[in-house]
Amino acid sequence: MLYRPIPQWITRSKWRKKTGIAAVGVTNSSHFGPAGAYTLYAAKKNMIALAFCNSDSFVRLYDGAERFHGTNPISMAVPTGGSNPWLLDMATSSVPFNRVELYRSLNQKLPSDVASDVSGNSTEDPHIAEMLDPLGAKFGFKGAGLGGVSEILSAVLTGMKLSPELLPMSGPDMTTPRELGAFVIAIDPEGFIGSFLFKEGMEKYLNLMRKSKAKENAYVMAPGDREWKIAHDRDKHGVVLDPVTSKQFKLLADRFEISSKYDLWDYHD
């Protein structure tokens, strides 16, 4: 697993302690996992962190008609004076592909400009969606550019495979190394204005942001606020499963003769 070695390396690195900054390129990996897991670890150690990774081709280029970039996530986490870090963890596509699968499961229309059919034309039908649109809709050249940032740092800089060259994560070839790369960087505020002043500045920034005037029946959030709220709600009430996922759990439970006191298997075909 990458989760522990990467954050520990960048937070303990002698270069970070000496210069206030450290970076690591990852080679010969298979799956990055949630980019925010690495940056969040560093933020909880009072460091700013950024993480990048390319992935299987799923996203067309701006005006493209075939899969090229992966969802190529970018994450950044920042320590604050509050209980939770500022946390950005995003795909450079409009949505991740599992969002398309969720809409298929629910048999609902996709939002506009998030996925395309086999010809590269945007579609709201999840059942004919063959690729994802780059972030930005009609200005998707921006999302395609951000996807390129992850591609360059995680694949070109490390000598690993580009997204179109990667073997599919789900197989069928599960023996050939995928040669997936990644890139993580940590910045210690102590090497700049100092941790205390930095956190003070972050709290000022976040307070101003959250007090910013919002539209009617809405409120302004900082990156990570929505996720912290969802995590709290799920800790309290549990995780809602879509029908397809519920059905798969039911099949696995039957296969391995697992029973549950919870009503997890209520789904509709």
Among candidate residues 39, 56, 241, the one with its CA nearest the CA of residue 147: 56
In a domain, 17, yes or no: yes
In a domain, 18, yes or no: yes
Q: Is the pLDDT of residue 204 over 90?
A: yes
Specify whether 157 is located in the same domain as 229: no
| Domain range for 246 | 224-258
The model's pTM is 0.86
11 confidence band (pLDDT: 50, 70, 90): low
Q: Amino acid identity of 195? A: S
Specify whether 190 is located in the same domain as 234: no
Q: Write out pLDDT tens, residues 67-115.
A: 999 999 999 999 998 889 999 999 999 999 999 999 998 899 999 999 9
Q: Among the listed ranges 146-150, 225-229, 238-242, which one has the minimum average pLDDT value?
A: 238-242
CA dihedral 93, 94, 97, 101 (to 10 degrees): -170
Q: Amino acid identity of 19? A: T
> Average pLDDT for residues 212-239, to the nearest whole number?
93
Q: Write out pLDDT tens, residues 155-189.
A: 999 999 999 999 988 888 888 999 999 999 999 99
